[in-house]
Amino acid sequence: MNQLPNELKTPAWLQLFQWISDPLGYLENNYQKYGDMFTARIVGLSPFVMVSHPQAIQEIFTTNAQKFDAGRTNGILTSFLGTESIAILDGSTHKRRRKLLMPPFHGERLQTYGQLICNISQKIASQWVQNKPFIMRQVMQDITLEVIIQAIFGLSEGERYQQLKPLLAEMLDSVSSPVRSSFLFLRFLQKDWGNWSPWGQMKRNREKIYDLLQAEIDRRRREGKLEGHDILTLMLLARDEMGNPMTDIELKDELMTLLFAGHETTATGLTWAFYWIHKLPEVKEKVLKEIEGCGDKEDPMKIAKLPYLTAVCQETLRIYPVAMLTFGRVAKSPVEIMGQQFATETMFAPCIYLTHHREDIYPNPKQFRPERFLEREYSPYEYLPFGGGTRLCIGYALAQLEMKLVLATILSNYHLELGDQKPIKPQRRGLTLAPGGGVKMMMTGKRIMKNSKVTELVGT
Ligand code: HEM
């Protein structure tokens, strides 16, 4: 059996420091030195083989998919998501849970969220005050949180929604800075030293969120009216092949997972998209022209099919993928990857960022160029912002729909400018890669789109 390939010489504590404080530097330097496969040793984590060759990724996602576990590599997330979250499960339990959770995120169901997304974007953007700077990430978090809460609960102005919103936002903020995100990697920091300690506060918030979720589940059961189209109703009605419903703890852990996975990620993707569109005038011009030329701007599904807008979203998630890595994959038996033998228990981490920056697939990879997605098709092992195989992100279709509709709604109604012309650098935010500072922007006027002419009413 081969040794692990290209073990990094850097001490494990220094690798942890680099991975937290400068993740892209860490990835790029090691890729330069070692290429497609290298073994990271980071204090607090098991050693793992970072892979960024499409063939290796294909073998992990598809050819050998049944030979890997992924959920157990997310053990560190149980303090947020609970032990019953789909992200933590493996094997047949995971497969069954995916079957229960997938339907609300696909097909016709998805279309029902289209108008909801446009209305929420319109409502939140209408609160902008002209020429008053704001942080785009905060606005995008408001929009995506409201979308996911309404999609899950069908609630909007309810008291429970008002209570949930700040608690969730606070919980996400508790791991937002590079320093605070060390809590996610180092178990010994996960200690509850009372309300004043960050971990203690996070735990208290989580308990409050769980109480609110339980109250909502109890209310639905008590009222017995399970006829809405929201995700919670579908989850309450779902039965496995033995005819069993989900337990309360399963329901709460899944609700938490969807709230957690479903809004911060999409908000970050959207913030990057607004940044690129306003940083690059030619991109903005093309995207506006396309939206303007769209026959039926009121039909969300028509907007969702616009090719250039789609390419802008794809390129946004290529250049700085919100998730730098997919979940880890642990071999349950010996495996062969790209002709090399690996022992049972070897952990692999398909690296989305490095794959998306390969010169041989994406010439000039540091350049934001949506056209590359119009010129050729990429395989699911070359372009993988949502991971792949049996763990492909459940919300991938919702997230892409949401990105396009929020962008189209706001771009066609408002004239925006960046608050600062300096290039924005990506920065770790918890487990994600987000624009440093959240992107300061300003609404400088309202825009009215007419048949073939964009009229800007600056000063209205
Ligand atoms: C731009 C937005 C998003 C990005 C970039 C993203 C990315 C990812 C990635 C990389 C994974 C791991 C896949 C793997 O290991 O192969 C994942 C898993 C997951 N995502 Fe997303 N995601 C986004 C939005 C969403 C949304 C909107 C939801 C739900 C409402 C969601 C729910 C989930 C769930 C439940 C999993 C775990 C799937 C499983 O374990 O089987 N995500 N996501």
| 5 in any annotated domain | no
For position 182, what pLDDT does the model report? 66
Find out whether the beta carbon of 257 lies less than 6 Å from any atom of ligand 1: yes
- Calculate how far, in angstroms, residue 455's C-alpha sits from the geometric centre of ligand 1: 38
Question: What is the per-residue DSSP string for 383-415?
Answer: --TT--GGG--TTHHHHHHHHHHHHHHHHHHEE
- For ligand 1, whether the C-beta of 398 sits within 6 Å is yes
Helix (H) or strand (E) holding 223: helix 198-223
pLDDT tens readout for residues 252-302: 999 999 988 888 899 999 999 999 999 999 999 999 999 998 877 678 889
Average pLDDT over residues 215-235: 83
pLDDT at 45: 80
Tens digits of residue pLDDT in 20-78: 889 999 999 999 999 999 999 988 788 999 999 999 999 999 988 899 999 999 988 88
The answer to whether residue 251 sits within a structural domain is yes
Taking CA atoms only, the protein residue closest to ligand 1 atom 7 is 386
Alpha helix locations (H) across 297-393? 300-304, 307-319, 352-356, 372-375
Helix (H, G, I), strand (E, B) or coil at 129: coil
Of ligand 1's listed atoms, the one at least distance from the Cα of 325 is: 10
Measured from the CB, is residue 265 less than 6 Å from ligand 1?
yes
Asked if residue 217 lies in contact with residue 252, where contact means CB atoms within 8 angstroms, the answer is: yes
Cβ pair 447, 456 in contact under 8 A: yes
Average pLDDT over all residues of the chain:
89
What was the pLDDT predicted at 435?
A: 95
The residue nearest atom 19 of ligand 1, judged by CA position, is 393
Ligand 1 pocket, 327 CB below 6 A?
Answer: yes
Q: Does residue 258's CB lie within 6 angstroms of at least one atom of ligand 1?
A: yes
Highest mean pLDDT: which range of 35-49, 294-308, 367-381, 442-456: 367-381
Q: State if residue 385 touches ligand 1 by the CB under 6 angstroms criterion.
A: yes
Of 403, 437, 396, 432, residue with least CA distance to 322: 432
Is 7 among the domain residues? Answer: no
Decide whether any atom of ligand 1 lies within 6 Å of the 104 Cβ: no
- Parent domain of 344: 12-458
User: Which residue, among 307, 315, 308, 301, has the nearest Cα to 273 in the 3D structure?
Assistant: 315
Cα separation values, 190 from 14, 53, 207, 388, Å: 20, 35, 15, 30
- Which of 137-146, 178-187, 288-297, 315-324 is predicted with the least confidence, judged by mean pLDDT? 178-187
Indicate if ligand 1 lies below 6 Å from the C-beta of 349. no
Model confidence band, residue 456 (pLDDT cutoffs 50, 70, 90): very low
- Domain assignment present for 276: yes
Lowest mean pLDDT among 153-162, 165-174, 329-338: 153-162
* Ligand 1 centroid – CA 394 distance (Å): 6
Per-residue model confidence (pLDDT) at position 339: 94
What is the atom index within ligand 1 of the atom nearest the CA of 144?
A: 27
Residue 457 CB neighbour total at 10 angstroms: 10
Nearest alpha carbon to residue 41 among 14, 68, 21: 14
Helix (H) or strand (E) holding 48: strand 48-51
In a domain, 132, yes or no: yes
pLDDT higher than 50, residue 457: no
Task: Give the residue, 49 or 169, on which the prediction is more confident.
Answer: 49
Q: What confidence score (pLDDT) does residue 87 get?
A: 96
- Which has more confidence, 263 or 317? 317
Q: Does some domain include residue 4?
A: no
| Alpha carbon of residue 276 to chain centroid | 18
Q: Is the pTM of this model over 0.85?
A: yes
Q: Is the CB of 322 under 6 A from ligand 1?
A: yes
Tell me how far the alpha carbon of residue 328 lies from the centroid of ligand 1, in angstroms.
Answer: 13
CATH number for the domain harbouring residue 21: 1.10.630.10
For ligand 1, say whether the CB of 387 is within 6 Å of any of its atoms. Answer: yes
Residue-level pLDDT at 64: 84
Q: How many domains does the chain have?
A: 1
Q: Which of 394, 405, 407 to mutate to test the pocket of ligand 1 (most atoms within 8 A of CB)?
A: 394
Closest ligand 1 atom, residue 400 Cα:
1
The CB of 353 under 6 Å from ligand 1? The reply is no
Q: Whose CA is nearest to atom 42 of ligand 1?
A: 395
* Position in ligand 1 atom list of the atom nearest CA 327: 15
More confident residue, 330 or 182: 330
Ligand 1 centroid to residue 259 C-alpha, Å: 11
DSSP SS3 for 339:
coil
Cβ pair 272, 436 in contact under 8 A: no
- Per DSSP, 59 falls in state I
Residue 326 CB less than 6 A away from ligand 1: yes
Residue 370 lies in a domain: yes
Phi, psi of 442 (to 5 degrees): -145, 140
Task: Give the residue whose CA is nearest to atom 18 of ligand 1.
Answer: 393
**pLDDT average, residue stretch 227-249:** 85
User: Which of 77, 89, 146, 386 has most ligand 1 atoms within 8 Å of CB, for mutation?
Assistant: 386
Whether residue 326 is predicted with pLDDT greater than 80 in this model: the reply is yes
> Has residue 460 got a pLDDT over 50?
no
Nearest CA to ligand 1 atom 35: 394
Q: In the Cβ-directed half-sphere of 189, how many Cα atoms lie within 13 Å?
A: 15
Domain assignment present for residue 1? The answer is no
